[in-house]
């Protein structure tokens, strides 16, 4: 091999350094290429009690693990030699256009994770052209979300309380504030056993102990923001002092039935979505009641551990009731590929909860923007690699579900 001394002109292209990003937040978010990257940033910047509330699930957290495994255990089946120079990632959901096939799920105690809370989520959703859902346990008022996202699609999530009059007062406020859709969550007769929260001694407001003070002291930006912004309050509660599990059990009504849901439907002027459906029979009953959409969900694994996997239920439910009712999906979504697979198997829409909150904890509004941008880029890339130009072109044959859990045949 003949060798020579390198010439200056040869070295010049190799010595072009990337211009440094001086803004620490921007630099941090630019380094995140996946939702899992945002999760790692969020974990470093958020006290354990708040991070674990977001990240954790019920009991042994099997439901959440299985939901994520279900998305990992798929095979995409691409078509080749298709013109995919342009891709359309939007279509109509509940009769109105969305720019992307996902929206922000309702999440509770959001300003505890990061002080911008629902304001960051609602404004980012509005800018991206996707719906934002405010939880009954949200930490910004119904009216403030409406003011933050006046031209966007605002949805309100309802937990039916034992105090029915108070529950319906919230529904009335949401209607008056222009919220277009009501999401009724139906998988909470009692609170799930979220053991991370119990072990962390999570209370509202957050309780101070030597352990929590030390953990928060290692994250001064979170602590500073928490102390210098408005005290943690709730969209729908006056006040509470005590463990979160006790708060939830005082609220949730274990007597709610399909008759109650029909009664709620009569009170609400907009679209009605029911969240927490986990079997085909319940999906059929809901379709018969005339709800506009159902969400296949096991509450992010936060209620019944070892619950059914929503992604596995999707094809059967779509086949049975998908013509009459739009089918949404949540639980376990951590990438745009997960969303594409859901749409291919018949979901009309998906909801992201943790993925949004990881972005929020990583960088406030800019972090939520980054989470949405990551998912959007993954959706576009996956669609192009599959050889499709639009969501309408995604079909079940694009996805093969590989299942590591196989049901045992009953003994005869």
SS (H, E, C) the chain: CCCCCCCHHHHHHHHCCCCCCCCHHHHHHHCCCCHHHHHHHHHHHCCHHHHHHHHCCCCCCHHHHHHHHHHHCEEECCCCCCCCCCCECCEEECCEEECCCEEECCCCCHHHHCCCHHHHHHHHHHHHCCCEEECCCCCCCHHHHHHHCCCCCEEEEECCECCHHHHHHHHHHHHHCCCCEEEEECCCCCCCCCHHHHHHCCEECCCCCHHHHHHHHCCHHHHHHHHHCCCCCCCCCCCCCEEHHHHHHHHECCCCCHHHHHHHHHHCCCEEEEEEECCHHHHHHHHHHCCCEEEECCHHHCCCCCCCCHHHHHHHHHHHHCCCCEEEECCCCCCHHHHHHHHHCCCCEEEECHHHHHHHHHHHHHHHHHHHHHHHHHHHHHHHHHCCCEHHHCCHHHEEECCCCCCCCCCC
What are the structure tokens assigned to 265, written together?
Answer: 């439907």
Residue whose tokens read 């929260």? 197
Q: Give the pLDDT mean for 187-200.
A: 85
Q: What b/e string do you get for 138-151 counting C-beta neighbours within 10 Å, with b at 16 or more?
A: bbbbbebbbebbee
Summary mean pLDDT of the chain: 89
- Residue 122 exposed, middle or buried by CB count within 10 Å (0-12, 13-18, 19+): buried
Of 2-6, 301-305, 343-347, 381-385, the least confident? 2-6
**Who wins on pLDDT, 165 or 133?**
133
Of 203-207, 208-212, 272-276, the least confident? 203-207
Could you tell me the pLDDT band of residue 199, with boundaries at 50, 70 and 90? confident
What are the structure tokens assigned to 2, written together?
Answer: 């003949």
**Who wins on pLDDT, 342 or 226?**
342
Look at residue 275 in the predicted model and tell me its pLDDT: 97
Residue 163 has pLDDT above 80, yes or no: no
Look at residue 246 in the predicted model and tell me its pLDDT: 62
CB 77 within 8 A of CB 399: yes
CB 68 within 8 A of CB 332: yes
Quick check: is 219 in a domain? yes
User: pLDDT tens across 361-370, in order?
Assistant: 999 999 999 9
Could you tell me the pLDDT band of residue 19, with boundaries at 50, 70 and 90? confident
Q: Give the pLDDT mean for 390-398.
A: 97
Angle CA(174)–CA(180)–CA(183) in degrees, nearest 5? Answer: 75
Look at residue 9 in the predicted model and tell me its pLDDT: 72
User: pLDDT tens across 31-84, in order?
Assistant: 999 999 999 999 999 999 899 999 999 999 999 999 999 999 999 999 999 999
Of 5-9, 133-137, 150-154, 362-366, the least confident? 5-9
Question: Quick check: is 398 catalytic?
Answer: no
We report the CATH number of the domain holding residue 273 as: 3.20.20.70
Q: Tally the domains of the chain.
A: 1
Q: Nearest-CA neighbor of 184 among 275, 123, 267?
A: 275
Residue 234 has pLDDT above 90, yes or no: no
What are the structure tokens assigned to 98, written together?
Answer: 């969305």
Question: Phi and psi (nearest 5°) for 368?
Answer: -65, -45
Residue 162 has pLDDT above 90, yes or no: no
User: Which is the catalytic residue, given 219, 299, 348, 354?
Assistant: 299
Residue whose tokens read 């039916």? 160
Could you tell me the pLDDT band of residue 200, with boundaries at 50, 70 and 90? confident
Residues 27 and 44: their CA atoms lie apart, in Å, by 15
Residues 367 and 124: their CA atoms lie apart, in Å, by 9
Residue 396 has pLDDT above 90, yes or no: yes
Quick check: is 167 in a domain? yes
Look at residue 77 in the predicted model and tell me its pLDDT: 97
Question: Phi and psi (nearest 5°) for 8?
Answer: -55, -35
Highest mean pLDDT among 41-50, 119-128, 259-268: 119-128
Look at residue 205 in the predicted model and tell me its pLDDT: 56
Could you tell me the pLDDT band of residue 193, with boundaries at 50, 70 and 90? confident
Angle CA(336)–CA(312)–CA(98) in degrees, nearest 5? Answer: 40
User: pLDDT tens across 244-253, in order?
Assistant: 556 666 667 7
Quick check: is 11 in a domain? no
Quick check: is 7 in a domain? no
Quick check: is 395 in a domain? no
Quick check: is 165 in a domain? yes
Of 75-79, 196-200, 282-286, the least confident? 196-200
Residue 139 has pLDDT above 80, yes or no: yes
User: pLDDT tens across 100-118, in order?
Assistant: 999 999 999 899 899 999 9
Residue 226 has pLDDT above 90, yes or no: no
Look at residue 79 in the predicted model and tell me its pLDDT: 95
Look at residue 367 in the predicted model and tell me its pLDDT: 97
What domain range is 339 assigned to?
26-386
What are the structure tokens assigned to 132, written together?
Answer: 């934002």
Q: Give the pLDDT mean for 394-406.
A: 91
Q: Nearest-CA neighbor of 57 among 178, 193, 254, 209?
A: 193
What are the structure tokens assigned to 133, written together?
Answer: 């859902």
Residue 331 has pLDDT above 90, yes or no: yes
């Amino acid at each position: 091999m003949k060798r020579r001394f390198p010439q200056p002109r040869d070295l010049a292209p190799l010595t072009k350094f990337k211009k440094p990003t001086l803004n620490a937040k921007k630099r941090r978010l630019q380094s995140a290429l996946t939702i899992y990257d945002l999760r790692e940033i969020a974990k470093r910047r958020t006290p354990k009690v708040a991070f674990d509330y977001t990240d954790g699930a019920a009991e042994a957290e099997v439901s959440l693990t299985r939901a994520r495994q279900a998305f990992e255990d798929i095979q995409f089946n691409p078509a080749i030699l298709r013109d995919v120079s342009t891709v359309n990632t939007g279509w109509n959901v509940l009769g109105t256009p969305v720019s992307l096939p996902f929206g922000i799920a309702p999440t509770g105690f959001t300003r505890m994770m990061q002080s911008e809370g629902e304001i960051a989520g609602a404004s980012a959703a509005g800018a991206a052209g996707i719906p934002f859902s405010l939880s009954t346990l949200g930490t910004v008022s119904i009216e403030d979300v409406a003011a933050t996202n006046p031209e966007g699609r605002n949805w309100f999530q309802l937990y039916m309380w034992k105090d029915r009059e108070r529950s319906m007062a919230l529904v009335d406020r949401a209607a008056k504030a222009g919220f277009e859709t009501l999401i009724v969550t139906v998988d909470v007769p009692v609170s799930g056993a979220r053991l991370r929260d119990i072990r962390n001694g999570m209370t509202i407001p957050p309780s101070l102990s030597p352990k929590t003070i030390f953990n928060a002291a290692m994250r001064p930006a979170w602590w500073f923001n928490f102390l210098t912004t408005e005290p943690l309050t709730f969209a729908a509660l006056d006040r509470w002092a005590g463990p979160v599990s006790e708060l939830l059990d005082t609220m949730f009504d274990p007597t709610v039935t399909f008759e109650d849901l029909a009664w709620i439907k009569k009170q609400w002027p907009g679209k009605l979505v029911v969240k927490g459906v986990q079997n085909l029979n319940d999906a059929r009953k809901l379709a018969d009641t005339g709800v506009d959409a159902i969400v296949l969900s096991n509450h992010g694994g936060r209620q019944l551990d070892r619950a059914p996997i929503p992604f596995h239920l999707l094809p059967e439910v779509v086949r049975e009731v998908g013509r009459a009712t739009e089918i949404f999906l949540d639980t376990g979504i951590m990438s745009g590929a997960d969303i594409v697979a859901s749409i291919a198997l018949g979901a009309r829409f998906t909801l992201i909860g943790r993925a949004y909150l990881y972005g929020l904890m990583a960088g406030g509004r800019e972090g939520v923007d980054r989470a949405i941008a990551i998912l959007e880029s993954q959706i576009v890339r996956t669609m192009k690699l599959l050889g499709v130009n639009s969501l309408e072109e995604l079909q079940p044959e694009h996805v093969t579900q590989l299942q590591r859990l196989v049901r045992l045949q009953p003994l005869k």
